[in-house]
Amino acid sequence: MARRKGPPPERIDKVAWEDPPVRKQFYAWDSIAEQLRAKPNEWARVFQQDRVSVVNALRQGAVGPMHPDLGFEYKTVNNVREPVRLCDLYARWNPDKVVSLRAAIRRTRKKA
């Protein structure tokens, strides 16, 4: 384990009472998923030169409406490996890749 250089940090014993900043949602994932389902197996460009972290979240299933088990597939092109990693994202819906259990759970949750 690396040791911290310099003087030891001061102990934090007070909190600041404030609301957290509001996070903006740039993508309407429900709408995008619906559009992809309308044209099965056809690739669509979702964005150009946005953060790779968005693609990672999609691939890991962190974006519910576009979960890979619901049949969504992703490809990236024009990847940039600068301090802020960027890429173009293409996605499609493949009905053959839908995991029936995941789809059933999603339908049940949407009704609730």
The ranges assigned to domains in the chain are 29-111
Q: Please give the model's pTM, rounded to 2 decimal places.
A: 0.74
Nearest to 76, CA basis, from 53, 97, 98: 53
pLDDT tens, position by position, 50-100: 999 999 999 999 999 999 999 999 999 999 998 899 999 999 999 999 988
Q: What pLDDT sits at residue 30? A: 94
| Six token digits for residue 30 | 């429900």
- Contacts of residue 42, defined as CB under 8 A and 6 or more positions apart, other chains included, come to 92
